[in-house]
Amino acid sequence: MLKADFHSHTNYLQKGETNYSPKELIDRAAELKFDVFCISEHYVLTKLGELLPEYRKYPFASYGLIKDYAKEKGILLLRSVEIKYPEGEVLLVNFQGNVKDYPTLKSLEKLPSSVLVIAPHPYFKRSICLGENLEKNIGLFGAVEYAHMYSSFINLNKKAAAVAARHKKPMVGTSDAHHLLEVGITYTLVDSKKNAGSIVNAVRAGRIKLVTRPMPAHLFAFIALSNIFKICAGGIRIMYRLLSGK
């Protein structure tokens, strides 16, 4: 079984997303003995991308920078991206194309079968999440994410798990890492050979095991407060750019 994480971020393109570099993330993944990893930087197709142009940068730059280093560490790094559509965010794993060729959620129907489409944190209480758009477009998705961000007293993955079960979609565990402390709490074991095509096919076929545990209360509180701070900081940057015209 391959230890895999299909969702993480770095500070390489969007400085406010994390406080660590791609290399530091891969070092942490190697420390935790991951076999397969994805750095899925943000790419925003909504109005927000015009207001915050760092979210329209080439999203695979960090992948190109670090893939050989990851290989040296024994990690297969899959080319991936998290795209924000008006309907919500979508993860594309093993995506080899140009994000500009997929300007709408519906356009993802044209993706080759080599790409794994994952619904990340679909029912978390934010406008970036798919929410009811997941079931409306369930045929697009090969898997649903079981997000790491939950505790013993609050778990917003429950509805996602019910929807995934109803539509017979596998659930993959990820870190959606914005802090190194998040890596390794929730992940996926994949029964597959160590190559991209086999991994994508194994996930779609459900030959996986979700490994997860609730976040400790102190870590959950820290991450939640960090997220609130990041949202506020983003709002301030948007307001500044609107008022200054920069």
Cβ neighbours, 10 Å, residue 125:
8
Q: Please check whether residue 33 lies inside any domain of the structure.
A: yes
Residues 12-30 pLDDT 10s: 998 888 989 999 999 999 9
* CA 217, chain centre distance (Å): 23
Print the domain residue range for 12.
2-217
Specify the amino acid at residue 173: G
pTM over 0.75: yes
In which band, very low, low, confident or very high, does the pLDDT at 244 lie, cut at 50, 70 and 90? low
Q: Please check whether residue 48 lies inside any domain of the structure.
A: yes
C-alpha to C-alpha distance for 179 and 207, rounded to whole angstroms? 28
Of 7-11, 29-33, 93-97, 220-224, where does mean pLDDT reach its minimum?
Answer: 220-224
Task: Locate 238 and state its tokens.
Answer: 């948007």
Q: Please check whether residue 241 lies inside any domain of the structure.
A: no
Q: Please check whether residue 238 lies inside any domain of the structure.
A: no
Q: Please check whether residue 52 lies inside any domain of the structure.
A: yes
Q: Please check whether residue 179 lies inside any domain of the structure.
A: yes
- Which residues is 92 bridged to in the sheet? 81, 117
| Count of domains for the chain | 1
Q: Please check whether residue 90 lies inside any domain of the structure.
A: yes
Q: Please check whether residue 242 lies inside any domain of the structure.
A: no
Tell me, what CATH number does 176's domain have?
3.20.20.140
CA atoms within 13 A on the CB side of 68: 3
DSSP 3-state of 75: coil
Q: ∠ CA(36), CA(40), CA(45), 5° rounding?
A: 155
